Amino acid sequence: MHTRTLGPFTVTAIGLGCMNLSHAYGIPPSAEQGERLLRAALDAGVTLFDTAALYGFGANETLVGRVLKAERSRITLCSKGGMAGVAGDDGVTRRVIDGRPEAIFRDCENSLRRLQTDVIDLYYLHRWDKKVPVEESVGALSRLVEQGKVRTIGLSEVGAQTIRKAHAVHPVTAVQTEYSLWTRNAEIAVLGACRELGINFVAFSPVARGFLCDAVPDVRTFDAKDIRRTMPRFDPENHARNLQLLPPYKELAREAGCTPAQLALAWLLHQGEYVLPIPGTTNVEHLHEDLAAADVKLSPDLLRRVGALINEKTVAGNRYSEQSNREVDTEVF
């Protein structure tokens, strides 16, 4: 397996995003299927695993903790707090962004319990709660480091100015944001800030939520709980326009001697050694396909052509709804 550094850790160049084993894309797989996928990742040599308190309102961390605890010493375990499921007075659990120190401490304790571990290797602020100065939230993360409950800290979905403010309080090991051929917001300023400050960049949704795998032929088949239903790029009109990008894209993948998913991941890996993609999947065959992308070599000319084909100017629709855009801090084109 190809490896890269993630702060003080040496990890596989391609990690595993565990979210969709419990959350987000409709009805999740069974716990048995999720365990099979996680064990296949371990068997394949994956050492970077990413989860969060939010995913499945704790179910994902519970699954990951149960399956990975026997291999804890050889993996880098990442989770996130500051956004979690909170039960309301009506008994319904809802997603809540809360960056107050007391909420971050509570989230971390819950994550440690569910993950069945004494320490989380990389703990992210899942969202910056804009009602709380980021310095205050990062101060709470730094205290978790001092207490030995967290080894390193990260931020998710924040812009360059926020990264610099946070890094001044405590060294930030990684910034995690959506990044792929069709989501280039990180290129505005975040990637530059990460390079300048020596911070790793972890790319989630690196295959464009299935689009760059050629796995979304008909958006009308999405499950009622599939989060893509709220994403403008997947509304029928925009999706129809975006589908026109796939035939020339698949031709470039054939030229590269790889699959469309592998081309998307290889393109990310070629953006710099500090970039680590974390694709997610529920399918063991797809897992092995994704991991093999680390072996794909792309010429400068092919990199240029694939980047020119799919980018912020050629893709129709915003990546998030207006509500979701208000909750993140990333720069926009």
The structural domains of the chain, ordered by start, are 3-209+271-296 (3.20.20.100)
With a cut of 90, say whether residue 49 has pLDDT above it.
yes
55 in helix, strand or coil? helix
Q: To 5 degrees, how large is the angle CA 13–CA 19–CA 23? A: 165
Q: What is the pLDDT of residue 39?
A: 98
State the average pLDDT over residues 315-324.
Answer: 96
Question: Nearest CA to 48 among 99, 89, 104, 10?
Answer: 10
Kind of pairing between the strands at 200-204 and 48-50: unpaired
Q: Helix %, strand %, coil % for the chain, to 5? A: 50, 20, 35
Q: What is the pLDDT of residue 127?
A: 98
Q: What is the pLDDT of residue 217?
A: 79
Q: What is the C-alpha separation between 110 and 80, in angstroms, rounded?
A: 11
Q: What is the pLDDT of residues 79-121, one digit of tens each?
A: 999 999 998 889 899 999 999 999 999 999 999 999 999 999 9
State the average pLDDT over residues 186-199.
Answer: 98
Residues 199 and 175: beta-carbon distance below 8 Å: yes
Catalytic residue flag (residue 55)? yes
Q: Which of 25, 55, 179, 320 is catalytic?
A: 55
Q: What is the C-alpha separation between 174 and 155, in angstroms, rounded?
A: 7
Which strands, in side-by-side order, build the sheet including 172-178? 16-17, 48-50, 76-81, 120-125, 150-156, 172-178, 200-204, 275-277
Q: What is the C-alpha separation between 82 and 107, in angstroms, rounded?
A: 7
Q: What is the pLDDT of residues 177-190, one digit of tens each?
A: 999 999 999 999 99
Q: What is the pLDDT of residue 45?
A: 98
Q: To 5 degrees, how large is the angle CA 16–CA 60–CA 117? A: 85
The chain-wide mean pLDDT, for the chain, equals 97
Q: Which two tokens stand for residue 89?
A: 């007075």
Residues 123 and 144: beta-carbon distance below 8 Å: yes
Residues 137 and 125: beta-carbon distance below 8 Å: yes
**DSSP string covering 141-174:** HHHHHHTTSEEEEEEES--HHHHHHHHHHS-EEE
Q: What is the pLDDT of residue 1?
A: 86
Q: What is the pLDDT of residues 30-48, one digit of tens each?
A: 999 999 999 999 999 999 9
pLDDT band at 147; cut points 50, 70, 90: very high
> Residue 257 CA to chain centroid, in angstroms?
26
Q: What is the C-alpha separation between 218 and 171, in angstroms, rounded?
A: 44
State the average pLDDT over residues 294-314.
Answer: 98
Q: What is the pLDDT of residues 18-31, one digit of tens each?
A: 999 998 999 999 99
**Radius of gyration for the chain, computed over Cα atoms and rounded to the nearest angstrom:** 19
Q: What is the pLDDT of residue 262?
A: 98
The residue type of 191 is L
Q: What is the pLDDT of residue 137?
A: 98
Q: What is the C-alpha separation between 281 and 43, in angstroms, rounded?
A: 16
Q: What is the C-alpha separation between 107 and 98, in angstroms, rounded?
A: 10
Other beta carbons less than 10 A from residue 304's beta carbon = 11
Q: What is the pLDDT of residues 250-279, one digit of tens each?
A: 999 999 999 999 999 999 999 999 999 999
With a cut of 90, say whether residue 280 has pLDDT above it.
yes
With a cut of 90, say whether residue 329 has pLDDT above it.
yes
Q: What is the C-alpha separation between 83 and 95, in angstroms, rounded?
A: 7
DSSP 317: S
